[in-house]
Amino acid sequence: QDAQIYHEGGSVTLEAGIENGSFVIQDCEFTNIILNDEKSKAVLSVAFVAGNKSEITGNTFINCSTTNSPTGALYIADEAFDGSDIKYVFSNNTFTNNTGKTSGSIYVLSRVQFLHYNFSNTKFKLSKNNVTDGLGQDAYFKFEEPGDTWTNETVTAAIKGMFNGSTSDAKNASVYFQVYKGEQFAYDGSYALPNPKTKKWYQNKYVIIGIACGAVVLIVAIVVIIIAIVYCRKRRATYSSKGQEKDPLIPHTQQRSV
């Protein structure tokens, strides 16, 4: 937290090189970290060189920035050539106000023929990159060893599935991928994460409580007004009846003098 990093790898660098090993990074917070070294990858860099059951979940990345590195927050290099299709879990993380050269929050470099990443229920906010159109400001994928059956459509569908339940405040397609074959660019695509759902008024308990209190006050006011009207009418009726009792039944006439 609150650091400037000049290290080549980044703030935290992990290499998963033991087959069938595992590591977990959970409920950590990376806040206000600036990367100054041109060779730095990100605040958190993970390299998979063997099949590894790994989880990075429930973490928070806030104000992680760099101008020369691929991404500000999380860099993933996948080079596990052992044929493993183990699912790598990077779910339930929150990225806020992160800045990078290619992607603000997540950069994935894949040299395997598996689309085995899980970024579900991830929240992105205010991610920024140095790309003019803003593509990939939340996440960028570079696939250098695609499968023979891969197409733009299949990769796009896989990306969409990876980010199931994730949201972003970005206006453009903030998840962007590029596929290379033999070091030559083949095709690219993007996916627009849905914006966070704002609660309807009837889903907000404070609004409901306010409406209920207002309704009670209104009912009380109406009852008071009705009682006041009835009371006033009764008083008028009482005064009217008393006035009639005082009036003589036969009015006095003036006697004529003889």
pLDDT in tens, 161-186: 999 999 999 988 899 999 999 889 99
Q: What is the pLDDT of residue 86?
A: 74
- Residue 71 is given by DSSP the state B
pLDDT at res. 2:
41
Q: What is the pLDDT of residue 155?
A: 96
> Whole-prediction pTM value?
0.72
Helix runs in 186-204, H state only: none
Q: How many whole angstroms from its chain centre is CA 253?
A: 94
**How many Cα atoms sit within 13 Å of 157 on the Cβ side?**
5
What is the dihedral sign for C-alpha 60, 62, 64, 70? Answer: positive
Quote the percentage of the chain above a pLDDT of 90: 43
CB distance 79 to 113 below 8 Å? no
Confidence (pLDDT) at 223: 81
Closest CA to 187 of 142, 247, 226: 142
For 152-178, give the DSSP string.
Answer: HHHHHHHHHHHTTT-EE--SS--EEEE
Torsion sign over Cα 143, 20, 121, 160: positive
What whole-number distance in Å separates Cα of residue 98 and Cα of residue 66?
Answer: 9
pLDDT, one tens digit for every residue, the chain (258 residues): 443 444 444 568 887 767 777 788 999 999 999 887 777 789 999 888 766 778 999 999 999 998 788 999 999 998 876 656 677 899 999 999 999 999 999 999 999 888 889 999 999 999 999 887 889 999 999 999 898 899 999 999 999 999 999 999 998 889 999 999 988 999 999 999 999 876 555 556 666 777 778 888 888 888 888 887 877 877 776 666 655 555 554 555 555 444
Q: What is the DSSP letter of 128?
A: B
Spatial separation of the C-alpha atoms in residues 258 and 255, rounded to whole Å? 9
Strand partners, 92: none
Which pLDDT value is given to residue 211?
79
